[in-house]
Structure 1
Amino acid sequence: MNVKKIMSIFQSFYVDVSIEELTLTLPISFVKKFEYTQMTFHKESFLLIKEKRRGSLSSFVTQARTMGDKANMDVVLVFSKLSDGEKKQLLQARVPFVDFKGNLFFPPLGLVLNANDTEVPKELTPSEQLTWIAFLLPKGQKVVDVDLLSQVTGLPNSTIYRCLRTFKALYWLNKQNKLYTYTVSKKELFLKSVSCLFNPIKKRILLPDGDIKQIKSVSNLLYGGAYALSHSTFLAETDENTSYVIWQRKFNQLSLPLS
């Protein structure tokens, strides 16, 4: 691995890092396939990993995360060169990377730095948003309960862990001794995440109270929007009028003489 080249790329963006050798006990297949070393930035360690011979990008990401879990460090993938398509894949998956052409995605900097001004996707994926909301709503311990999140969301533990890695990369969660924790209130976390949440509501209709009562008589209505959060939790505060949500299909099936 060209350590001097990697350091020069970080230094070109006025980022001071140190790199030193690291020994891990790995399967022989990993030893033959990857080069790795340890990088330190602001007293936090990262595992730099480079394939000795390029293979499948998705396989590289999966195996690198396995190595990172074993070393108890976040990983940064190293490449000689990346195509625009590969950069887009890594950015969408929020996988940190650096290549010898000067492209860099390093979450602690809060930036993507490259010649094409590629931006980091800000919006959470549906699985990430579902997991994040399921985490925010209940009161609980300061340690994230992965099994409980899996039960509530119906997502497998592997997906939950992927989501948690994203939240850590966004500095919403911390990771200590393989456990995900948080130190600020959930309300503060919610406010931090608002700009990354997508709105699943596709259409809004203003109805008089009489019509809403008719719909309630034949279908369950849930509170929606910021009102739902202010009504059911302390995550948000709003003076907006009561709003409800209903599936578009269910609304279309209603056969009521609405005003």
Structure 2
Amino acid sequence: MEKEMDFSKVNAIFQAFHFDANVSPVNLDLPIIFQRRYDFANLVVAEQEFLLMAEKRSGSLDNFVKQAQAVQRQIHQNVILVFRQLADDDKKKLLQARLSYLDYQENAYLPQLGFLYSKISDTKKIEKELTPTEQRILIILLLFVSDLVIDIDKISQLSGLAVPSLYRIFKSYKERGWLTNQRKSYQLAKTKVDLFNEAKILLKNPITEVVIISDEDFQRLKADLDFKISHVEALSYLGMLANTESYGQYTLSKKQFKKVEKTIKQPIFQGHRIEIWTYEPIVFDYNSDTWMQVGVESNCNMVDPISLYLTLKDNDDPRIMEEVEELKEKIYMILGEKYAG
């Protein structure tokens, strides 16, 4: 769910630091995608004026920083990034980049005011990263589990993993607080929306590399390999974005690609774009009642929507950014939440 910037908390932070501050709404002439993704406010403190910028939905820190720098260049005003809570590693990254920030826990770096304050974190260290297989199984659970109880045989069929392997993965999910179990039956420990929001920071872009292959090689290989449509071509089927490329955009798993890599002519500078993923692309049916209800109906053999989102969410092309935002809305809707637009 989207959250607006809390002006009272921002004011309270400056009061705690003995600054007189005034926070007020602001109207900016920025592309609509910025208005949809971010919350802005004007800050006057110590006779200086700043633009406060907060994410409405949490995403990657690198992308937030990149977009904040773009806004700063456009409006010619110092930007302060606002967070609900910053991890210690993220504070270090922002300090190294010399970017002004504050969070609701009273951590702040405001070089224009000669101010730095950082509380000692007593929170747990960020959870260890998911393996590619753990990420793939989590996406399958989010997209295919229709109620709280998990049909492990169905997940085994969808994932191609043996049941004992799934039990090992489910045990790791239970340790993270995502699943509960009774005897050999596993259930989701929270709603799919809450699970997605919590796990999102751990979900990585599955692309390891991108290669271009000739149409000759593509036609020779497509009978034996399951090329799934990806990138902007897939996004164009799910929204209003026009795909003007002459060649296709597909994905293969690292394992699939290694089998044929030596038979492909390289280098090729014009041809089909192939993303090499850390995990096997998930078989997903967009021609279902659920997707038809959110305005999508496609028989095309495409990558699943969550993985597609992960590959495109940090793209800085404004046209793609807007369509990715629409895709995210659809994901939240199918996970069970009425998206607050």
TM-score, length-scaled by structure 2 = 0.33
Bigger relative contact order (CA 8 A; separation at least 6)? 2
